[in-house]
C-alpha cells in the first residue's frame, strides 16, 4: 500500500475528506514517521474521543510544553555530550545537551548521530517531548529530522547555563550537566579496580581544581596521560552526583588535551554555613567555623575489621563476625555553627594531633589505665566547647550529615576572649 491507498482507506473508515487525510499523511511521512505510525496518528486525530493534532507544531523553545506530543524547533546547538547507555539490552551511543533560541533553552537527547555540533543552527522536525524533572525535554529519534540552517539563530548569551561549546568553571557545574568542557589541574589521582558491568575494571579517580574550586573526578577510561600537578582540558565531561556533590566524569568520548600553560587554581575552600550546606545535600571541599558540642561514642582508640574496615562493636564485625582487630584512632565530633550541626570525622592523623600523641603512646596510656575510653575522654576535655576552622567534604545520608575532615584547626578566638567581647558589646 502506498500513501494514496492508505489515504483512501482512512478517508472511508473515518468518513473524512481524502485530500485532507492524504496531506496529513504526506506531512508525517516527510518527517520520517513510519507509515504505520502515521496511519495511527491520523486515526487518533480524526477519532471521536481524542482531538490531538498529529502533525508537529512549530514552536519557540519557551513555548514547548510537557503536554506537547511532538514539536518542530529552530535552534542553536549549545552543547553536545556523548555517552554510552544500556538500552533494551544493547549498548547505544546517545548525545545529550542543550539547545537554545532567543526565547530560552531546552535539554535534548538524540538517539542517533545527526551530525550537529555546538554552535550549529538547525531545524529539528518532529522531536518528541518528554518530561524530565518537571521540565520539557526533546527526544530526537528515528522519526525526527535535522536540517542545517544557513542563518545563525541568535540566542541570549547571559541566559545560557554555559557558553556555546560548554566551557564551565568547576563551581558552576551541576549534577546532570552533559557535554561540558573544563580546564583543570589534577590535584590527586589514584588507580582503582572496581567491579563494573563487565567484570573488573581499572579506573582513575581523584581531585581536580581550577580558579573557582575543587571537585572529585573519575576517568572511566583510566587514561595513562593523566598525572598529578599537570593541567588539562577535558572536552565532553558529564556530571553526576556523588555523596551530594557534583562529580566530573570522563567517558571514552571525552577528549583530553595537555595545556601548555599553568592555570591559576584556588587553594581556598568555599566558606559555608552548615545549615545551608546540609540543605543542599552535600558540598565538596568546604570550610566551616563551628564549636564542638560533643565527642560521640566510637571516638578515640577504636578497632576495625581487617576485611572491610568497619569499626568493630564488641570485637565483632557486622559483616565478618569475630576477626583479628586492626587498631585505629578517630574522632566523631558534633559541631555547630548556629545554623546547623554536622558530625566532623577526623582520621588517625588528625586525631593524633588533637590528642597530642601518637597512636602507640595512646595505646600504652590505655593499657596502663586498663581502659581505652580514657583516650576519648582526654580528647573530649580538649576540644568540647572550643571553636574550630574545619575543612572537608560534607555529605548527607539517612543517618545524618557528616564532614569528612581534612583540616581541623582551633580558631585564635578562645572561649574566654569570646565571652569577654560579647560582654563588651553588651555593656558598651
Ligand atoms: Zn568486616
Q: How far is CA 14 from the centre of its chain?
A: 50
What dotted CATH number matches 170-258?
2.40.50.140
The share of the chain scoring above pLDDT 70, in percent, equals 93
- CA–centroid distance, 308 to ligand 1, in Å, is 4
The pLDDT of residue 48 is 38
The pLDDT of residue 428 is 54
- CA–centroid distance, 404 to ligand 1, in Å, is 21
- CA–centroid distance, 334 to ligand 1, in Å, is 26
- CA–centroid distance, 146 to ligand 1, in Å, is 55
What whole-number distance in Å separates Cα of residue 395 and Cα of residue 404? 8
Range with the poorest average pLDDT among 48-62, 126-140, 208-222, 269-283:
48-62
For helices 373-383 and 359-369, what crossing angle results, to 10°? 120
- For 55-73, the pLDDT digits (tens) are 678 999 999 999 888 999 9
Task: Give the residue, 416 or 214, on which the prediction is more confident.
Answer: 214
Tell me which CATH homologous superfamily contains domain 57-159: Nucleic acid-binding proteins (2.40.50.140)
- CA–centroid distance, 122 to ligand 1, in Å, is 57
- For 338-378, the pLDDT digits (tens) are 999 999 999 999 999 999 999 999 999 999 999 999 999 99
Give yes or no for a contact between 333 and 357, defined as CB atoms under 8 angstroms apart: no
- CA–centroid distance, 332 to ligand 1, in Å, is 20
What whole-number distance in Å separates Cα of residue 138 and Cα of residue 193? 37
The pLDDT of residue 426 is 60
Tell me which CATH homologous superfamily contains domain 270-418: Nucleic acid-binding proteins (2.40.50.140)
What whole-number distance in Å separates Cα of residue 208 and Cα of residue 139? 33
- CA–centroid distance, 303 to ligand 1, in Å, is 11
- CA–centroid distance, 159 to ligand 1, in Å, is 51
Confidence label for 184 from pLDDT (cuts 50, 70 and 90): very high
- CA–centroid distance, 323 to ligand 1, in Å, is 8
- CA–centroid distance, 327 to ligand 1, in Å, is 14
- CA–centroid distance, 113 to ligand 1, in Å, is 47
Confidence label for 418 from pLDDT (cuts 50, 70 and 90): low
- CA–centroid distance, 331 to ligand 1, in Å, is 20
pLDDT above 60: residue 54: no
- CA–centroid distance, 397 to ligand 1, in Å, is 21
The pLDDT of residue 49 is 39
- CA–centroid distance, 316 to ligand 1, in Å, is 8
- CA–centroid distance, 314 to ligand 1, in Å, is 13
C-alpha cell at 166: 560548554
- For 271-330, the pLDDT digits (tens) are 999 999 998 888 899 999 999 999 999 999 999 999 999 999 888 999 999 999 999 999
Residue closest to 137 by CA, chosen among 90, 166, 173, 178: 178
- CA–centroid distance, 304 to ligand 1, in Å, is 8
The pLDDT of residue 420 is 63
- CA–centroid distance, 310 to ligand 1, in Å, is 6
C-alpha cell at 379: 580528647
pLDDT above 80: residue 216: yes
pLDDT above 90: residue 18: no
Mean pLDDT in the chain? 89
C-alpha cell at 387: 571553636
Confidence label for 217 from pLDDT (cuts 50, 70 and 90): very high
Confidence label for 117 from pLDDT (cuts 50, 70 and 90): very high
The pLDDT of residue 278 is 92
C-alpha distances out from residue 320 to 284, 330, 398, Å: 32, 21, 23
- CA–centroid distance, 326 to ligand 1, in Å, is 11
- CA–centroid distance, 219 to ligand 1, in Å, is 29
- CA–centroid distance, 313 to ligand 1, in Å, is 11
Amino acid at each position: 500500500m502506498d500513501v494514496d491507498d492508505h489515504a483512501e482507506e482512512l478517508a472511508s473508515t473515518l468518513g473524512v475528506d481524502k485530500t485532507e487525510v492524504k496531506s496529513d499523511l504526506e506531512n508525517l511521512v516527510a518527517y520520517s514517521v513510519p507509515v504505520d505510525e502515521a496511519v495511527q496518528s491520523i486515526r487518533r486525530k480524526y477519532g471521536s474521543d481524542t482531538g490531538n493534532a498529529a502533525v508537529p507544531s512549530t514552536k519557540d523553545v519557551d513555548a514547548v510544553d510537557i503536554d506537547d506530543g511532538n514539536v518542530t524547533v529552530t535552534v542553536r546547538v549549545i552543547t553536545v555530550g556523548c555517552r554510552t547507555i544500556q538500552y533494551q539490552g544493547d549498548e547505544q551511543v546517545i548525545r545529550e545537551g542543550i539547545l537554545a533560541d532567543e526565547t530560552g533553552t531546552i535539554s535534548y537527547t538524540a538517539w542517533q548521530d545527526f551530525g550537529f555540533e555546538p554552535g550549529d543552527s538547525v531545524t529539528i522536525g518532529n522531536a518528541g517531548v518528554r518530561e524530565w524533572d518537571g521540565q520539557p525535554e526533546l527526544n530526537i529519534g528515528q522519526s525526527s529530522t535535522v536540517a542545517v540552517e544557513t542563518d545563525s539563530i541568535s540566542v541570549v548569551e547571559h541566559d545560557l547555563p554555559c557558553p556555546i561549546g560548554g566551557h564551565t568553571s568547576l563551581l558552576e557545574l551541576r549534577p546532570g550537566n552533559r557535554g561540558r568542557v573544563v580546564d583543570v589541574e589534577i590535584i590527586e589521582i589514584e588507580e582503582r579496580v572496581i567491579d563494573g558491568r563487565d567484570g573488573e575494571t581499572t579506573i582513575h579517580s581523584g581531585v581536580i581544581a581550577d580558579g573557582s574550586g575543587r571537585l572529585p573526578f573519575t576517568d572511566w577510561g583510566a587514561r595513562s596521560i593523566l598525572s598529578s600537578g599537570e593541567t588539562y582540558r577535558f572536552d565532553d565531561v558529564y556530571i553526576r552526583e556523588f555523596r551530594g556533590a557534583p562529580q566530573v566524569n570522563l567517558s571514552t568520548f571525552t577528549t583530553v588535551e595537555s595545556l601548555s600553560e599553568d592555570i591559576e587554581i584556588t587553594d581556598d575552600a568555599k566558606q559555608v554555613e552548615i545549615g545551608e550546606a546540609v540543605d543542599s545535600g552535600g558540598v565538596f571541599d568546604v570550610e566551616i567555623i563551628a564549636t564542638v558540642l560533643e565527642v560521640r561514642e566510637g571516638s578515640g582508640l577504636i578497632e576495625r575489621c581487617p576485611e572491610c574496615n568497619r569499626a568493630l562493636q564488641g570485637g565483632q564485625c557486622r559483616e565478618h563476625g569475630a576477626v583479628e582487630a586492626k587498631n585505629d584512632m578517630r574522632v566523631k565530633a558534633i559541631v555547630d555553627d548556629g545554623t546547623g550541626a554536622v558530625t566532623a570525622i577526623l582520621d588517625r592523623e588528625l586525631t593524633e594531633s588533637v590528642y597530642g600523641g601518637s597512636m602507640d603512646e595512646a595505646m600504652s596510656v590505655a593499657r596502663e589505665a586498663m581502659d581505652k575510653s580514657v583516650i576519648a575522654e582526654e580528647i573530649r576535655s580538649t576540644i568540647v566547647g572550643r571553636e574550630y576552622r574545619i575543612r572537608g567534604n560534607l555529605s548527607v545520608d539517612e543517618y545524618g550529615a557528616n564532614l569528612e575532615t581534612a583540616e581541623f584547626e582551633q580558631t585564635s578566638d578562645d572561649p574566654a576572649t569570646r565571652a569577654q567581647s560579647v560582654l563588651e558589646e553588651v555593656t558598651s
